[in-house]
Amino acid sequence: MAPASFRLDTLAANLIERLEPVRRAHLDSPDVARAAVQKTTREIADNVARECRSVMGDEVQARRIETESVETFMPRYARLAVEQNKVERREAITPVNIVVQRLLPLVAGLFVSSAMLEAAGGPWDPVFYLLPPLALFWPEWIGAWARRRYRIELQDLVDDLGQLQDADERLSPTAALADSAAGPVPVGDGDRARQAQAVSSQREKG
């Protein structure tokens, strides 16, 4: 088993911590952000793999780090990062955002409230005009929801890599030899590949 400092989920958590400032530095340039994420991921993963080889002498885990950081972590994080950058760009206080995301919904809400009041045919009721001003805070509500979902998806990515690490260790040749003393190995090579892929893509399918 790999030490905690070289596990895939530990690597993923460290990568996210290092990549978040990189992501925020390129809010307006999705392609530049994606390229910066890829470059930084490769550099960090290569350093960790090199340290794993020199300190632990574990070639299997080093190759696992190099492979999964590129094939599993990097594409998922890059996609999430670009989507989150879009959200944060919409939250920026700019004249266009103020008009489109705040004033237009406010005017539309007031218009709808007036139409409802007229259709009701009753006396003027301030209740009809209490909800439209809430549109001024609509971007904050959407941003808070998006940030919460982003944090959940990042944690899902870390957890998936942890499960992939556990599955790979259970199905490694060393583990298979140890299990063979007690009976047949329950998972074959083809099943191992399918299980590792399923762990990596389970939440994406969800």
How would you write the pLDDT of the chain (206 residues) with one tens digit per residue?
889 999 999 999 999 999 999 999 998 899 999 999 999 999 999 999 999 999 999 999 999 999 999 999 999 999 999 999 988 887 755 555 556 666 677 677 777 767 766 776 666 666 666 666 666 677 777 888 999 999 999 999 999 999 999 999 888 755 433 343 434 334 344 444 444 445 445 555 55
Q: Whole-angstrom Cα distance, residue 68 to residue 10?
A: 13
At position 48, the amino acid (one-letter code) is V
Which residue, chain included where needed, has tokens 């959200």? 87
Q: Whole-angstrom Cα distance, residue 108 to residue 114?
A: 10
3 state SS of 171: coil
Q: Whole-angstrom Cα distance, residue 161 to residue 144?
A: 26
- Please give the pLDDT value at position 180: 38
Rg of the chain, C-alpha, whole Å: 25
- Please give the pLDDT value at position 108: 75
Q: The whole model's pTM is what?
A: 0.70
Q: Whole-angstrom Cα distance, residue 42 to residue 11?
A: 12
- Please give the pLDDT value at position 42: 97
HEC secondary structure over 90-126? HHCCCHHHHHHHHHHHHHHHHHHHHHHHHHHCCCCCH
Which residue, chain included where needed, has tokens 């040749």? 173
Which residues 6+ apart lie within 8 Å of 72 measured at CB?
160, 161, 164, 200
